[in-house]
Structure 1
């Protein structure tokens, strides 16, 4: 597709981005925050120290009594798949 010669495992996670595979969120990251964005626009921000915030689709901070630990675990698994073992 992009006329590259090296195998796709060098630059991908092995998922087709154009195929719906059951994921209900998108991961967005920068130097400080990992952000899970859900289809309804809800965002969960977690920093490198484990602090987290919840925002609605209009970016208004929401109270959140319990973090979505299952989502965060899946996010960390996916993020770590980019690093050599």
Structure 2
């Protein structure tokens, strides 16, 4: 068991980047966007690619930050899902 623990310690100190919590990663990414592109609908695929994670992990973060899930329906009964940011503050 001690060999396993030593291996874990080595892998943690070997320079592997420590990722910040997903919420902070999202906020950093979103704040880095140009102002013009922040206040528009986003597809989940955009978030997944930007943050290199899956939507099932991002959804709770977005909901906690006040984002809303919406759907655009068309005449063929298909719909497109998107996320709408909360209204700008102040």
TM-score surpassing 0.5? no
Greater fraction of residues in helix: 2
- Return the structure number with greater strand share: 1
> TM-score w.r.t. structure 2 length?
0.25
Structure ranking higher on relative contact order (CA contacts 8 Å, 6+ apart): 2
